[in-house]
Structure 1
Amino acid sequence: MCIVLLTTSHPKYALVVIDNRDEYILRPTSRPHWWKATPETPAVNGSVNGVAKAAPPAEVEVLSSRDLQRAERGTWLGITKGGNFAVLTNYRETDTHDVAHPVHGKRSRGGMVTAWLGADPAESTERFVTRMLEDGGVKGVGGFSLICGKLRKAKGDSNNIEPLAIISNRCDHVGQVPWICGERSSIYGLSNATYLHPEQEDKEEELWPKIREGREAMLRAVTEKIDEKELQEALFEILDTDRFPSDHTMDLEEGIPLLKDSIFIPAFGGKSHQEEMAEARLRGQVKHKDRDSPAAEVLTIVARPDDQPNGFQTGLYGTQRQTIILVDWDGNVTYTERALWDPHGNPIPRGSGDETFRFKIEGWEKEEELCN
């Protein structure tokens, strides 16, 4: 199950984010790229004769990978040129009879991420949170938590950034939404359970071991590593922390309860899933028999694997992608995604599947008029 760790403790970077996407290895997923979204709900930015007037929506430039399995083409993590940032984790539902919180909703969880990334840049985080919770924006979606907000310096406070919200379909109203990263020297972690603030010591026993270990390791990394390359290496080491049992042939049902203990999840699955993985690799060999391409290259030339008879729940389950985002105090972003598998389930050597993007957030220090 996925994990995201965030910190405002590094002296050079206003925000550091690291993320593991745990998923079925064969689930078709694009590489990170810039794409354009058109806001569906333009923000009200003025009035004519006392009547509110909505500005025509302009395309928003988004950087993310995209899920190719569902028609929504959602994602689990992304950022826009204007600094809208979002990252999602699934909520592990244990009650399959809870109608209010379905395990699998009719709508894609990834659509929650793109709802913010593709929102009108003039819409404030507060307004988006209100719209999603009060207007039914999270209805019909499987359990999830969404960290979202605008990456920019806080108004009137050059030592902090604007806080990020955590939306969940466990929130009944806006007043229950946690806000994080608005203060320096803080570290936060979120996986597939209800978010617990580091100060909630009375609930510390509910904190998943992977979150506790990840926060402690993150603190050491940002304290000791100042150079970008060394910092990234240390952060990838955290994302590779493996506490999973050595038996990778256990059934998924047996392994799911163990996912809370390990930041990194090695690919595992029972006999049928092992066979599906082998079949996918064989199809890949046949498809590329005229190419002597390493897995990292196949990743770029294949849009998605062959049709999967069991949908996205095919093959082994484990950590599929890893992402590191660094945002310095000038608003410069370094976005690195590491792919660990090609579309046919062949492992990619560490670093060979890396892609890095660099850009400066537009409006990082500009106090814009936002729609509330």
Structure 2
Amino acid sequence: MMCLLAFQLQSHPKYQLVMMANRDEAYGRPTAPANFWSDYPDILAGRDLEQMGTWLGINTQGKVAALTNYRDFALPQTGKFSRGHIVSSYLQSNLSAHDFMEQLHTHREDYAGCNVLVGSAEEMFYYSNIEQSIQQLPNGTHGLSNALLNTPWPKVDKTKALLAEYLQQVETIDRDILFGMMQRAERFPTELLPDTGVGEDLESLLSSIFIASKDYGTRCTTVLTIDQENHVEFEERTYEKGAFITAQKFSFHIEKPAHS
């Protein structure tokens, strides 16, 4: 489940929120591309067709949620429920972001290790059932992979730096540039990488921002922006084995800004 995202919150004159994210997953796992869901028409997200959850989404009220797995093979990898249900549950719920995180904390043992972001363009909260601390995030640029938020893995530091530097320079975003940032396939030196229990070769494969291998890799990249007028632009580009397949673009005005 989605392995890398970087986002900037309330730090740009035009955009309240800018988020770019790669979902890395086995190519064989059935997935629906981003769309408004037929069973929950106010939710815009891709969908895991195995468990019917998602990794990143937004609803028409402006609630935003995203999820990554926590990678440490010394920890148990099983939970009673699919982690992708956390994102869809928040987007369906009437709870505030903080109250939702309190509820998630209560049920933290139902899920294998994960990192969760929920909130809106106004405010964002982070929780990991590994760290077990609910945090309201300060404005600025943040990055998340398969460790705790802002853990200095090379690809996390790189995507944060690329995003922050670019947003300092431009008034209006060129989304192709953000997608380009998330397609960088170079691996980082072994001595800079974490040891998450997967072995040196796999650690190296997973070190790149964009991943492509025989059976596993970056399945899609999403760029989400919410501007100061609460206008949403959402674009998803899907890939298989490193090759571009298709793109979905959506834009809408938030019906009523979410109060987290």
Q: Please say whether Structure 1 and Structure 2 have the same fold, judged by a TM-score greater than 0.5.
A: yes
Offset of residue 260 of structure 1: 5.5
Asked whether the equivalents of residues 209 and 260 of structure 1 are also in contact (C-alpha less than 8 Å), the reply is: no
The one-letter code matched in structure 2 to 1:212 is D
* Aligned pairs (5 A) from 1:308-347: 316-341=215-240
SS in 2 for 1:323: strand
1:214 to 150, 159, 163: 159
Distance 2:131 2:148 in 1: 10
**Residue in 1 aligned with 2:56?**
77
Aligned length: 249
Deviations 1:172-215 (Å, cap 9, x if unpaired)? 3xxx22222x53xx11000000123xxxxxxxxx6100011111
**Residue in 2 aligned with 1:240?**
183
2:143 to 183, 189, 214: 189
Deviations 1:105-164 (Å, cap 9, x if unpaired)? 2311101111101112xx211111111112x2x32211110100133xxxxxxxxx2x21
* Percent of residue pairs identical: 31
**Residue in 2 aligned with 1:18?**
20
Deviations 1:198-243 (Å, cap 9, x if unpaired)? xxxxxxxx61000111111111221223334xx2111011101112
Gaps spanning 5+ residues in structure 1: where? 38-58, 152-160, 197-205, 246-251, 270-315
The one-letter code matched in structure 2 to 1:116 is Y
Structure 2 residue 246 is the aligned partner of structure 1 residue 353: yes
Asked whether the equivalents of residues 29 and 50 of structure 2 are also in contact (C-alpha less than 8 Å), the reply is: yes
Distance 2:239 2:177 in 1: 17
Distance 1:253 1:24 in 2: 18
Structure 2 residue 115 is the aligned partner of structure 1 residue 130: no
**Residue in 1 aligned with 2:110?**
140
Structure 2 residue 207 is the aligned partner of structure 1 residue 261: yes
Offset of residue 348 of structure 1: 4.3
**Residue in 2 aligned with 1:34?**
36
Give the TM-score of the pair, scaled to structure 1: 0.62
Distance 1:11 1:256 in 2: 40
Residue 258 to residue 322, structure 1, CA distance change in 2 (3 Å): same
Distance 2:63 2:172 in 1: 26
SS in 1 for 2:112: coil
Asked whether the equivalents of residues 244 and 265 of structure 1 are also in contact (C-alpha less than 8 Å), the reply is: no
2:130 to 148, 170, 173: 170
SS in 2 for 1:234: helix
The one-letter code matched in structure 1 to 2:149 is Y
Offset of residue 263 of structure 1: 1.0
Asked whether the equivalents of residues 220 and 239 of structure 2 are also in contact (C-alpha less than 8 Å), the reply is: yes
Q: Which structure has the larger Rg?
A: 1
Offset of residue 5 of structure 1: 0.3
Asked whether the equivalents of residues 88 and 146 of structure 1 are also in contact (C-alpha less than 8 Å), the reply is: yes
**Residue in 2 aligned with 1:3?**
4
Offset of residue 253 of structure 1: 5.3
Offset of residue 332 of structure 1: 0.3
Structure 2 residue 69 is the aligned partner of structure 1 residue 90: yes
SS in 1 for 2:109: coil
Distance 1:354 1:10 in 2: 26
Distance 2:87 2:59 in 1: 11
The one-letter code matched in structure 2 to 1:329 is Q
